[in-house]
Structure 1
Amino acid sequence: MAAPALVALAHGSRDPRSAATIKALVSEVKTMRPDLRIETAFLDLSKPSFDTVVDRLVKAGFDEIVVVPLLLTEAFHAKVDVPEAIAAATARHQGLKICATRVLGMETAFLEVLDVRLREALKDNRVRELDALVLAAAGSSDPLANQAVARLARTWGTRHKLPVTAAFASAAPPAAGEAVRAFRAEGRRHIAVASFFLAPGFLPDRVAELADEAGAVAVSEPLGAHPEVARVILARYAVGAVELVPV
């Protein structure tokens, strides 16, 4: 009996860099588990679509699928878009079992990746001193999702013994530029911004633009195709595969 297929389900973007990064991340996952059938799918804007991938897996003989949402917060996409896509897929294929795992979320392991990306940005900008940090995320109309980002920011700041502020690219204040200016108003001059996004796109670009305008000394790239992120995807899959086992 074959193990359930793993579908890494991302939101999708009009920016081709986003899909390319997601596919590179999933390639990392495939390298770690070559025994699994692993597919990349997107909810919108990028290809292949979730429906296309599910149809392909069913045609290949899979009747169990574990969907790992490549999302960093439990917001609208996780609570509405993913369940609706799964419900539509199971309605089309009689006998198909699909389990959606938790989103990638605010894993402490991601702090390691943030540090790697920030060190790269600091090196590129020849920055040797920091006196404040900003953790910039997408932002959500769901206050609980924003609070989760703020908690991660505090943990990250404690780790580096630096003051830190969470900032958001949309839906909630402060914006990255506002956060940088607030620190500068306190007399801090060496402020770096970390991009808590999975892949490049409009929102991370906007964060970088606003942070640069406000005087940030460095802005990191998104998490991207890093082995730590790949390991979290596989950890989510492992839990989902167990949930598919009949009791």
Structure 2
Amino acid sequence: MSQITAQLSSQLSGLARPPASRCPPALVAVAHGSRDPGALRTAKALLARVHALRPDVPVRLGHIELNEPPLDDTLAALRGEAVLVPLLLGRGYHVKQDLPQALARAPHLQGRIAAPLGPHPLLAEALHARLVEAGYRHGHRTSPRSAVILAAAGSRDPDSARDTDQAAALLSARLGGIPVLPAFASAGGATVADSVRILTSRGHHRIALASYFTAPGRFATETAAAAPWLTAAPLGAHPAMARLVLDRYDQALAAHAGQGDSLRLATL
């Protein structure tokens, strides 16, 4: 009898024990990579902020090129589920080709790809903050001579150009409606010098440059060198960037859950 009682007690104890909490899918932040040593430091600082905001989410870093760890190595070391969050500011080749191909080389993972960071109001918040840090003041917003150039990397993908145009519109609204004109470091778009000439011809002579880059690098340095007035730092590890990374992660998970609900309803 005592043996039976002990067995029942053990079984009931097991039933009463709460199930182990399920670990959330890993958040794999995908940086482009750069020979500038500041790029890797910036990515790590950003992910430290992300981890501080959501300590329960495993956060990993992978690079498309030039820096360690490569994305393939990061994915190879993971098991279970992962969400790739591109630390990129628009739709282009890396988001549309490189990331799906990387997931295809990691068939052991249940992976999905989040949207790129831009365009988004949180980016406009971070861009505005960087301009203020560089010396941009409220009085500049009210001057008809003021304007801003949004310096971006550039891409031949028309979706990427549209994303940058929308980011410029969001920043303009954040700045109270002053003109914000995109300029590109590559891919044949208008350069910083081109945009300066356009704005000057329209009567704008106090032209600030907003650096639409997630981290320091060659393009950020080149566009800053062509700026006619004050230049803001790249977006970097601004707190709004950390919130945006988690927002994209959550959106990807919610979209996946919604697809699963649709499939279940279809089979009823």
**TM bucket, shorter chain:** 0.7 to 0.9
Cα distance in 2 for partners of 1:10, 1:161 equals 32
3-state SS, counterpart of residue 133 of structure 1:
strand
CA contact (8 A) 2:88 2:118 kept: yes
The answer for the alignment partner of 2:6 in structure 1 is: none
Query: Letter of the aligned partner of 1:109 in structure 2?
Result: L
- CA–CA separation in structure 1 for the residues paired with 2:226 and 2:138: 19
Q: Pick from 133, 153, 159: which aligns with 2:168?
A: 153
Residue 235, structure 1, aligned to residue 250, structure 2: no
**What do you get for the CA RMSD once the two structures are aligned?**
1.9
**Which residue identity is paired with 1:223?**
L
SS in 2 for 1:57: coil
- Match in the other structure for 1:221: 233
SS in 2 for 1:45: coil
Unaligned runs of 5+ in 2: 1-21, 262-268
Query: In structure 2, the residue corresponding to 1:236 is in which secondary structure?
Result: helix
Counterpart contact for 1:64–1:244, Cα < 8 Å? no
> In the alignment, which of 106, 123, 129 is matched to residue 110 of structure 1?
123
Query: Distance between the aligned counterparts of 2:239 and 2:135, measured in 1?
Result: 21
Percentage identity across aligned positions?
Answer: 39
Output aligned runs, 1:162-201, within 5 Å.
Answer: 162-201=178-217
TM-score by length of 1: 0.87
Distance (Å, rounded) in 2 between the aligned partners of 1:30 and 1:230: 9
Identify the match of residue 64 of structure 2 among 29, 43, 68. 43
Q: Work out the CA distance in 1 between the residues paired with 2:160 and 2:119.
A: 10
**Structure whose alpha-carbon radius of gyration is higher:** 2
Q: What is the Cα deviation at residue 55 of structure 1? A: 2.5
Distance in 2 separating the partners of 1:47 and 1:231:
24
Any conservation in 2 of the 1:99–1:243 contact (CA below 8 Å)? no
Q: Secondary structure at the match of 2:135?
A: helix
> Relative CO higher for 1 or 2, CA cutoff 8 Å, sep ≥ 6?
1
**Bigger mean CA deviation after superposition, 141-150 or 235-244:** 235-244
Give the number of equivalent residue pairs. 233
- The within-5 A match list for 1:61-210 is 63-90=80-107, 93=108, 96-122=109-135, 129=140, 131-159=146-174, 160-210=176-226
Cα offset, 1:243, TM superposition: 4.8
> Which stretches in structure 1 are left out of the alignment for 5+ residues?
none
1:178 Cα deviation after fit? 1.6
Asked if 1 retains the 8 angstrom alpha-carbon contact of 2:209 and 2:231, the reply is: yes
2 CA distance for matches of 1:199 and 1:219?
14
TM-score w.r.t. length of structure 2: 0.81
- 1:162: how far off? 1.4
